[in-house]
Amino acid sequence: MKISSTKRYETLRERMGNGDIDRRSFMSLLGYAGLTAGVAGGAMTAMSRQALASGTELYFEGWGGVVSEALRKHAFDPYTAKTGNTVIDSAFGGEAEVLTKIKAAGSIDGHNILHSSGVSWYQRWVDNGYASELNEANIPNMSNVMDSIIAPFRAITPNSLSAVPYDYGTTGIAYNTKYVSKEEAEALGANLLLKKELKGKIGGWGGDWANRAWYGALQSDQDPNNIQDWDAVWDKVREHRGLVAKYWGSGAELMDLLAKEEIYVTEAWSGRVAALQAQGHPIAYMDPKNGLAWMESMFVLKGSPMAEAEELLNFMLAPETALAVAAGQKYPSSLDPQKIDMPEEVTSLPAFDPTGKLEGLVFRDPSTWNPVEKKQKKQWNRIKKGA
């Protein structure tokens, strides 16, 4: 059973009401999902021509904003024009939200491909029984993907992959150069987020307990992949909470808070900062020592139309597509720079690794983080509420 157009519309309205997407992104996503035509007086009366395409429909969920816009422009629309298959995409607030919905429904209806947050979530989808089995013979462009970015996924599912790595980046620290100098930022590192003089002008990502814990580990002088003192971690998180103006919940909200100077410093996603810089905002970016790097994949849920999904993934990994998306969303591509010539607009992106080995980046180790999630997530939820 396909997800109804009314439900898709109501979901997008809820996302905008929660501040996860702005009105511009909301209207764009309506069009992407084939819902624009007939939206009047708060009700939908018809589907757009795109939604009536004769091919297979693939439901994609991702991070919204500039990321969704880049995928739509450079990947999804050209794929539809070539194949007749329609990609219906929407923005999520996080994969936990999607997993909860799928479990509650007892079905993947309306959910096929996720712009998934790397190895930890790959492990989680596999553990929950949603791993598909991609036929890599149908995805020949996989041969151009960095071996270093594929290896962690193969370690989890050695017999067959359920996703293709697509991009990577870092969660570093963004700061407004009108109020914080480069020298000060580099001297303080992760502790810039604890500067008391900036109280009320500090932000933070509130949507991921592990992100908060990672920075708490840095601020308590611990290796985030080998935390020995969790009490010290959460003490730093409480200290940070006392200084925060607002925890942001989406990339669009992060960009809005920085652009309007409602906050001066925050941890931030590298590509979103690059997008702000391209718009002319005085926002600088740094990765503190042992800052968090991440990789994202296109995860195909078990039960999805596999032939069409594999065709889409292969299309997305074509160099002309992948590099255009990378430049548009401001995150480096998973393609190996030792095999594929990269344009300057990609090589200049934050976190770009010209070696293709990713040895200079620190990724979250799912073997140490996933087992403690249930217990430590509760700590963050209590602290977030003021405990």
Residues 186 and 274 in one domain: yes
Residues 153 and 46 in one domain: yes
Buried b vs exposed e over 330-349: b needs ≥16 C-beta within 10 Å?
bbbbbbbbeebebeeebeeb
Residues 72 and 145 in one domain: yes
The strand pair at 57-62 and 362-363 is best described as unpaired
Q: What's the pLDDT at 387?
A: 77
Q: What's the pLDDT at 93?
A: 77
E-strand ranges in 226-282 read: 244-248, 265-269
Confidence band (pLDDT; 50, 70, 90) for 14?
Answer: low
Residues 340 and 283 in one domain: no
Q: What's the pLDDT at 48?
A: 39
pLDDT tens-place string over residues 271-304: 999 999 999 999 999 999 999 999 999 999 999 9
Which residues is 175 bridged to in the sheet?
265, 284
In one-letter notation, the amino acid at residue 322 is A
Q: What's the pLDDT at 5?
A: 44
Residues 43 and 156 in one domain: yes
Once rounded to an integer, what is the mean pLDDT over residues 60-81? 94
Q: In which region does residue 304 sit, left (phi positive, over 0), alpha (psi from -120 to 50) or beta (all else)?
A: beta
- DSSP string covering 196-227: GGGTTSEEEE-S-HHHHHHHHHHHTT--TTS-
Q: Report which of 65, 116, 57 is spatially closest to residue 88, judged by C-alpha positions.
A: 57
Q: What's the pLDDT at 12?
A: 53
Q: What's the pLDDT at 386?
A: 85
Could you give the C-alpha distances from 158 to 70, 76, 133, 153, 257, in angstroms and in order? Answer: 31, 29, 11, 8, 42
Once rounded to an integer, what is the mean pLDDT over residues 179-187? 97
pLDDT tens-place string over residues 302-339: 999 999 999 999 999 999 999 999 999 999 999 999 99
Please give the torsion angle defined by the CA atoms of residues 293, 93, 202 and 177, in that order, rounded to the nearest 10 degrees: 60
CA distance 24 to 206: 23
Q: What's the pLDDT at 6?
A: 44
Residues 64 and 43 in one domain: yes
Which 3 state secondary structure label does DSSP give 54?
A: coil
Once rounded to an integer, what is the mean pLDDT over residues 356-376? 92
Does the pLDDT of residue 25 top 80, yes or no? no
Does the pLDDT of residue 344 top 80, yes or no? yes
Residues 283 and 317 in one domain: no
**CA quadruple 141, 143, 144, 148: dihedral sign:** positive
Confidence band (pLDDT; 50, 70, 90) for 118?
Answer: confident
Tokens representing residue 329 in the block: 């969303």
Q: What's the pLDDT at 315?
A: 98
Residues 109 and 238 in one domain: no
Does the pLDDT of residue 151 top 70, yes or no? yes
CA distance 255 to 273: 7
CA angle (114, 384, 16) in 5-degree steps: 45
**Residue listed under structure tokens 């050695």:** 158
pLDDT tens-place string over residues 30-43: 554 444 444 434 43
Once rounded to an integer, what is the mean pLDDT over residues 363-377? 92
Residues 131 and 188 in one domain: no
Domain boundaries, position 98: 5-168+294-361
Residues 284 and 302 in one domain: no
Of residues 48 and 185, more confidently modeled = 185
Residues 257 and 321 in one domain: no
pTM exceeding 0.85: no
Of residues 89 and 53, more confidently modeled = 89
In one-letter notation, the amino acid at residue 23 is R
In one-letter notation, the amino acid at residue 138 is N
Residues 260 and 320 in one domain: no
Number of compact structural domains in the chain: 2
Confidence band (pLDDT; 50, 70, 90) for 10?
Answer: low
What is the C-alpha end-to-end distance of the chain, expressed in Å? 43
pLDDT tens-place string over residues 203-236: 999 988 999 999 999 999 999 999 999 999 999 9
Q: CATH code at 20?
A: 3.40.190.10
The chain-wide mean pLDDT, for the chain, equals 88
Q: Tell me, what DSSP letter sits at residue 144?
A: G
